[in-house]
Structure 1
Amino acid sequence: MTDGDPPATGAPGRIRSIAVHRDDVATALEASLRSDREVVLRVTPPFSGRMRARLHSLGPGTVSTPPAGDRAGPDGGEADPAPIHVDPRDLVSDVPPYPEVDETTAEHLDADIETRRERHAEAVASWRETVRESVVGDVELGAGGRGGDGETVEVDVAVLG
C-alpha cells in the first residue's frame, strides 16, 4: 500500500506495505540457497494500494534495473520507478540451515535408500514449514520503496497463506 494519493505527476506515494505468500518466500529462499541463481520477491510498478511481491529469478550474472532517476521515459522525462527486489533472507527472522542430502543420509546410515529419501523429504518439508512460520512482519526496502531516491524505508509485510 502507498501513502497518500499519487501526485499530479503520476508518481506513486511511498510504499507502506507489501504482501507476500509464505510459500513464495520458502520457494525463493530454497532456490537461492540451492543454486547459483538469485531468486527474489519482486514488486513491480506502477505501485498501487495492494502490492504483492511475486517470485522472480534474477539468474546468475543478471544486472539489476537502474534506479528511475538514471533512466529516461519515452518523452525524455523520468521513467517509471524500477521494480523493487526483496531478498527472501530479509523476509525470514532466522534462516535455518537447509537440510543437505549428505546430512540426512548420515543421520540414517542403517536405513535403505528409499527410507533415506523419505527422511530427507521429511527434513526438507520441516525446513519449509519452519521458513513459512518465520516470515517477518516488516522489512526494509532500499531506494525509499520507490526505486531510486537512495534512502531505505521500513514497510509492513502482510503475510498470505
Structure 2
Amino acid sequence: MTDDEGGRDPGPDRIRSVAVHREDVANALEATLRSDREVVLRATPPFSGRMRARLHALDAGGGDGDADAGDGGPAPLHIDPRALVADAPPYPEVDDTAAEYPDADLAARRKRHAEAVEDWRETVRERVAETVEIEVDGETRIVDVTALG
C-alpha cells in the first residue's frame, strides 16, 4: 500500500508483533470468564509493525469499536484474551475452594479463595503466549507477542 491510495491508514496486515501488559491479559481473561461482558485486548489504527494492545470492554459506552472504522479507515484489532494465554488454568470457583476446606470458617474460606484467585492470576501472567493468531481481511495470521510487566 502506498500513500497515494486515498490517504487511508495502513491496515492490520502491517502488524508483526503485539505488545500486551501481563496484568491486562489477566484482567481481560478474568472478566471474560467471570461475567457476560466481552473484554478484549485492542489495538487501534494507525497500524504499524509493532502495536500495543490495551484492555477494552466491547460493551463499554462507546459501542464495540468497529464503528470507528466508519470514516473508511481500518477497524480496531480485537484480540480475545483466551488466545493470549497458553494452557490457562480453570478459574477458581468459590464452591470449589469451600469444598477443599469444609471445616474452615467463612473468613478463612474467603481468605483461601482470594489466595486461589491470586495464584490463578499469577499463573495467567506467567503463561502469556509468544505468538497469537489475528484475523486480517478474512485470513488468519500469526504475530509475535511481547509481554510487558
Deviating runs (4+, > 4 A) in structure 1? none
1:14 shift after superposition: 1.3
Contact between 1:20 and 1:159, CA under 8 Å: does it hold in 2? yes
Structure 2: 5+ residue stretches without partners? none
Q: Which residue of 1 aligns with 2:40?
A: 40
Q: Which residue of 1 aligns with 2:120?
A: 127
String of CA shifts for 1:69-91, please: whole Å, max 9, x gaps: xx5x3xxxxx1100010000000
SS in 1 for 2:103: coil
Contact between 1:139 and 1:156, CA under 8 Å: does it hold in 2? yes
The 3 A distance-change label for structure 1 pair 63 and 57 is: closer
Identity %: 65
Q: Which residue of 2 aligns with 1:117?
A: 110
1:66 shift after superposition: 6.8
2:68 aligned with 1:30: no
Contact between 1:42 and 1:53, CA under 8 Å: does it hold in 2? yes
Q: Which residue of 2 aligns with 1:3?
A: none
CA distance in 1, matches of 2:95, 2:65: 34
Contact between 2:40 and 2:78, CA under 8 Å: does it hold in 1? yes
**Matching of residues 1-161 of structure 1 within 5 Å:** 7-8=2-3, 9=5, 10=7, 11-12=9-10, 14-59=14-59, 65=66, 71=70, 73=71, 79-142=72-135, 144=136, 149-161=137-149
Contact between 2:14 and 2:48, CA under 8 Å: does it hold in 1? no
CA distance in 1, matches of 2:48, 2:54: 15
Q: Which residue of 2 aligns with 1:76?
A: none
SS in 1 for 2:52: coil
Contact between 1:22 and 1:160, CA under 8 Å: does it hold in 2? yes
Structure 1: 5+ residue stretches without partners? 1-5, 74-78
CA distance in 2, matches of 1:156, 1:67: 25
TM-score, normalization by structure 2 = 0.87
1:50 shift after superposition: 3.8
Contact between 1:36 and 1:59, CA under 8 Å: does it hold in 2? no
Is the helix fraction higher in 1 or 2? Answer: 2
- Computed over aligned residues only, the root mean square deviation of the Cα atoms, in angstroms, reads 2.1
String of CA shifts for 1:73-122, please: whole Å, max 9, x gaps: 3xxxxx11000100000000112110001110111111111111110001
TM-score, normalization by structure 1 = 0.80
